[in-house]
Structure 1
Amino acid sequence: MIGEISIGGVYLPSILLLAIAAVLLTGLASRLLSFAGAYRVVTYRPLVDLALFVLILGLLALLTGPSA
């Protein structure tokens, strides 16, 4: 993962773009979990959604990181 990405001359931090992708993927995963009925065993759904977002963001950061 590099520090900044230039889009039309505007420098954006790469973590911002990863966070936007993570929000989209979290929304998709949340809909799939809801459709599968997995939220019936969860006490507090927003906390599960936040944890899912953090896990997806971390995975994206690891996958886009520098290759050693």
Structure 2
Amino acid sequence: MVNDLNVGGVFIPGLLIVALVALACTLLVIPLFSFSRFYRRLPFRPLIDVATYVISFFLLAQGLNVLGLFA
């Protein structure tokens, strides 16, 4: 199965699409975390942001793989 997106003859890799969707999800989730008192007390919040991105990327890739849309 080919996982590339063809836009005007330019192939965009499937992982790049998943990475951009994970970035959008992370940018939507981080403000929700900021309302929590626990998030404000964390010593190194950028590390939590990166971990949130990695987790959302993994969950998206795993979900697409289960659905059969991403091999």
Q: How many residues align?
A: 67
- Could you tell me the TM-score, scaled by structure 1's length? 0.83
Q: Between the two proteins, what is the percent identity of the paired residues?
A: 36
Give me the whole-angstrom Cα distance separating, in 1, the residues matched to 2:8 and 2:23. 23
| Partner in structure 1 of residue 9 of structure 2 | 9
Report the RMSD for the aligned CA atoms in angstroms. 1.9
Deviation of 1:4 (Å):
1.5
Q: Which runs of 5+ in 2 are unaligned?
A: none
Where has structure 1 moved over 2 Å in runs of 4 or more?
35-38
- Could you tell me the TM-score, scaled by structure 2's length? 0.80
Q: Which runs of 5+ in 1 are unaligned?
A: none
Deviation of 1:41 (Å):
2.9
Deviation of 1:31 (Å):
0.6
Specify which structure has the bigger relative contact order, considering alpha-carbon pairs within 8 angstroms and separated by 6 or more residues: 1
CA gap 1:37/1:7 in 2 versus in 1, 3 angstroms: farther
